């Protein structure tokens, strides 16, 4: 019903405005009506001039020159984004924006071609599956008030992966092989062909490694995209994908004594731990160009994700019962060792997500004022099935079912955003989003008073919110834009947090904030582009995660409290091609973030039997200073070399802001670190063959990236890989 109403509204509104319809000045609103709906901000200069807030686009050429091993390397180049590595191979995505906790990227809306990709966008927005950067043509990041068009998460930002499309005309293909240390073999192949708007693209990716840092893996990723031109103004596209992963991922990290000893940095303490992920996804999108500047797109999508994780049990007590006899660390130090146990716990989850979304886009003139209107609605359903299985051996692949539950959510949203070009130099963008989420938790089996028994506990709740946003763009000159914006940050509570295992609905409030920013950008084809953004985020209720992935006990936290985030982001790109001899290119890129993220209301927590007020303390995993710089040299488009350096400032890892490390390695301040990478590529003259080489962490810096989930994690040591790339 909601989608039908949106469709009717989308068709009727242009008719209502038809009496006021007039041609739009292409200099005022440059070609925005041609941008397909799978983009969030697009990549043209004109779009950036009118984007209501800070934004960044990394295109295909930049991705190629970075030669990233994984997507985390790409996001580190974006100001305001903090990336925490988990296993060194980039299999898991942990992004934090402007001081928000990076654990599982819960506070960022992650899209691929405009469609959510997390396990459950509303009830469980964790990123255990990460889209492969190898099959992307670009990445968009939006942090301003324009987020109201892309819910439900409107707190940290929007990341949109743009997957490769079929060629515009003719045929295109490529084959790539990348080899690296630790038995890494990455192979991919794609082929596409189009004629008169109808075409296809097939992409196959195989990634495997015996061990890179903490993980070995086997990944198969298959994607097919098909476009059909129904008529001159109507297009139908189908996308299908399959992702299959096996990795020996684990939560166990080093104790402090193991780290100080220095000879067991990447030892496999639980060799039988492994994670299996299987994902099927499909989407069908219809785009109807109604008339000049008017477009209606409707998308039907769905995906399933199976995430089964086998992990060996362990204890910090050297005298623990059921021990295998394997002890890591120093047992003479309390909590300084890890005792492996003769048992396993399987944490198995299956997710189903489906949705229908319609978006209407119109360029129109009302009383002589040029306008851009985007409106639409979405219905979405998600279900999660979770089982906990206990095995009686360290490598048991099955066991006794001790927990079984089903979580269901039904969501509806309406959104609208209009931009008024009130003056050739000034545009005002106002948006409004409405979110409704009804959810329930049904517990079929659980442990009560130490006894596992079947049960039938069910409880339900719902939440609704109105999310406004307002942005102003002032074009100071042809290439200079001053922008300001404010919007309501909103994120629904996780279902497991909102309804307890006893079936009690806690009626948690949504995670809410007021996010504002002020900035200036200069983006043009000239030699120097730059952007400076000041931001201020005031959370009335930020829910601090205490899940196992964040180092907690797995139970939710009730209404975590108020936090305040403020700072400045800076980005700059200098191109010196015009000042060099013909054929030589030189580009310098820098980005930096300075921020404070603190608890700014009374909040008492128990510390060693004493209640401590943490008001004024830094929030965990928020470096006050981070930056990236790169220098790229190219010659005649055939030879290139890029040096990249990134700096991450010191961070606290707990709410107490402990400086001294704990014996188990799970708390204590992280020292700042510098990491340098070097990439080169060469296209053999007269051929379509490209040879590349990459050296990560050139100086072999040894540094801690995280003390969670369960101990110290180190960054990737010096790592070499080489590649061959053939295009046809």
- Give the 3-state secondary structure of residue 127: coil
Task: Say what the pLDDT of residue 500 is.
Answer: 62
| Domain layout of the chain by residue ranges | 2-727
Q: Is 402 helix (H, G, I), strand (E, B) or coil?
A: strand
344 pLDDT band, cuts 50/70/90, is: very high
Counted residue by residue, the chain has a size of 728
CA–CA separation, 666 vs 259, rounded Å?
12
As its CATH architecture, domain 2-727 has: Beta Barrel (2.40)
How large is the average pLDDT for residues 29-48? 43
Average pLDDT, integer, range 68-93:
91
pLDDT at 495 over 50: yes
- Looking at the predicted structure, is the pLDDT value of residue 409 above 50? yes
The yes-or-no verdict on residue 585 having pLDDT over 50 is yes
pLDDT of 713 > 90? The answer is yes
* Residues β-bridged to residue 215: 212
Partners of 559 in beta bridges: none
Residue 508 has pLDDT above 90, yes or no: no
Distance from C-alpha of 94 to C-alpha of 560, rounded to nearest angstrom: 20
Asked if 201 and 224 touch (Cβ cutoff 8 Å), the reply is yes
**Which whole-number Å values give the CA distances from 523 to 133, 529, 627, in the listed order?**
25, 5, 20
Output the pLDDT for position 494.
Answer: 76
* Enclosing H/E stretch for 256: helix 256-261
Q: For residue 54, is pLDDT > 90?
A: no
Residue 24 has pLDDT above 60, yes or no: no
Residue with the bigger pLDDT between 240 and 561: it is: 240
The CA distance from 265 to 716, in Å, is 10
Kindly state the average pLDDT of the residues 383-402: 95
Residue 26 has pLDDT above 60, yes or no: no
H/E run at residue 12:
helix 2-17
- Give yes or no for residue 509 having a pLDDT over 80: no
- The model's pLDDT over 243-290, given as tens digits with 9 standing for 90+, comes to 999 999 999 999 999 999 999 999 999 999 999 999 999 999 999 999
Strand partners, 531: 521, 571
CA distance 361 to 129: 31
Q: Work out the percent of the chain whose per-residue pLDDT is above 90.
A: 69
| 3-class SS of residue 391 | strand
Q: What is the pLDDT of residue 660?
A: 95
pLDDT at 110 over 70: yes
The whole-number average pLDDT for the span 690-697 is 96
Residue percentage of the chain with pLDDT more than 70? 88
Q: Identify the pLDDT of residue 545.
A: 54
Q: CA-CA distance, 413 to 359, in Å (whole number)?
A: 12
Which pLDDT score, from 0 to 100, does residue 542 have?
Answer: 65
> In this model, does residue 479 exceed pLDDT 90?
no
């Amino acid at each position: 019903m909601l989608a039908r109403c949106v469709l009717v509204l989308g068709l009727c509104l242009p008719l209502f405005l038809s009496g006021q319809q007039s041609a739009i000045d292409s200099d005022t609103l440059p070609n925005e009506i041609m941008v397909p709906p799978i983009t969030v901000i697009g990549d043209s200069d004109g779009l950036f001039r009118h984007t209501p807030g800070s934004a960044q686009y990394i295109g295909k050429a930049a991705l190629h020159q970075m030669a990233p091993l994984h997507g985390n390397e790409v996001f580190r180049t974006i100001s305001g984004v903090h990336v925490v590595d988990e296993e060194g191979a980039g299999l898991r995505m942990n992004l934090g924006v402007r001081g928000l906790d990076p654990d599982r990227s819960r506070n960022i809306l992650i899209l691929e071609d405009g469609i959510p990709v997390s396990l459950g966008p509303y009830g469980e927005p964790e990123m255990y599956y990460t889209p492969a950067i190898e099959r992307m043509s670009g990445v968009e990041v939006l942090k301003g008030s324009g987020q109201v068009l892309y819910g439900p998460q409107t707190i940290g930002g929007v990341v949109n992966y743009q997957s490769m499309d079929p060629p515009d005309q003719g045929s295109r293909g490529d084959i790539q092989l990348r080899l690296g240390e630790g038995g890494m073999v990455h192979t991919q192949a794609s082929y596409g062909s189009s004629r008169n708007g109808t075409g296809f693209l097939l992409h196959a990716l195989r990634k495997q490694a015996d061990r890179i840092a903490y993980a070995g893996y086997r990944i198969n990723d298959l994607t097919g995209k098909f476009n059909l031109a129904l008529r001159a103004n109507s297009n139908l596209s189908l996308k299908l994908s399959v992702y299959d992963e096996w990795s020996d991922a684990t939560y166990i990290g080093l104790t402090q004594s193991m780290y100080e000893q220095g000879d067991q940095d990447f030892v496999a303490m639980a060799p039988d731990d492994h994670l299996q992920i299987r994902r099927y996804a499909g989407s069908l999108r219809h785009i109807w160009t109604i008339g000049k500047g008017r477009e209606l797109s409707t998308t039907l999508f769905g995906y399933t994700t199976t995430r089964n994780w086998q992990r060996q049990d362990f204890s910090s007590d050297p005298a623990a019962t059921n021990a295998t006899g394997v002890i890591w660390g120093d047992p003479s130090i309390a909590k300084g060792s890890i005792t492996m146990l003769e048992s396993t716990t399987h944490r198995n989850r299956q997710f189903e997500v489906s949705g229908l979304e319609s978006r209407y886009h119109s360029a129109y003139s009302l009383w002589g004022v040029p306008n851009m209107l985007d409106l639409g609605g979405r219905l979405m359903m998600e279900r999660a099935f979770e089982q906990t299985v206990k095995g009686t051996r360290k490598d048991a692949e099955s066991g006794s079912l001790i927990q079984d539950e089903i979580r269901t959510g039904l969501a509806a949203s309406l959104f609208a955003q209009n931009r008024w070009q009130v003056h050739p130099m000034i545009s005002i963008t106002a948006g409004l989003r409405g979110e409704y989420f009804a959810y329930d938790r049904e517990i079929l089996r659980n442990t009560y008073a130490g006894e596992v028994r079947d049960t039938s506990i069910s409880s339900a709740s719902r939440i609704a919110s109105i999310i406004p946003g307002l942005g102003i763009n002032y074009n100071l000159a042809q290439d200079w834009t001053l922008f300001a914006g404010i919007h309501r940050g909103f994120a629904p509570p996780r279902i497991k947090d909102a309804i307890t295992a006893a079936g009690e609905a806690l009626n948690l409030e949504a995670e809410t904030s007021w996010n504002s920013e002020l900035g200036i950008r200069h983006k043009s084809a000239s030699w120097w582009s730059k952007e400076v953004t000041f931001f201020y985020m005031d959370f009335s209720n930020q829910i601090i995660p205490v899940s196992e992935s964040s180092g907690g006990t797995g139970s939710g936290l009730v209404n975590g409290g108020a936090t305040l985030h403020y700072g400045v982001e800076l980005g700059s790109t200098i191109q010196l091609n015009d000042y060099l001899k013909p054929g030589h290119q030189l580009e310098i890129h820098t980005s930096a973030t300075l921020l404070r993220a603190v608890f700014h209301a009374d909040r008492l927590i128990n510390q060693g039997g004493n209640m401590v007020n943490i008001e004024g303390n830094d929030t965990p995993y928020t470096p006050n200073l981070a930056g990236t710089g790169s220098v790229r040299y190219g010659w005649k488009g055939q030879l290139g070399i890029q040096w990249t350096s990134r700096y991450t400032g010191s961070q606290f890892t707990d709410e107490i802001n402990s400086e001294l490390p704990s014996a188990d390695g799970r708390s204590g301040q992280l020292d700042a670190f510098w990491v340098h990478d070097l990439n080169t590529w060469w296209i053999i003259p007269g051929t379509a063959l490209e040879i590349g080489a990459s050296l990560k962490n050139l100086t072999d810096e040894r540094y801690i990236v995280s003390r969670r989930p369960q101990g110290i994690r180190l960054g990737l040591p010096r790592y070499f890989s080489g590649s061959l790339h053939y295009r046809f």
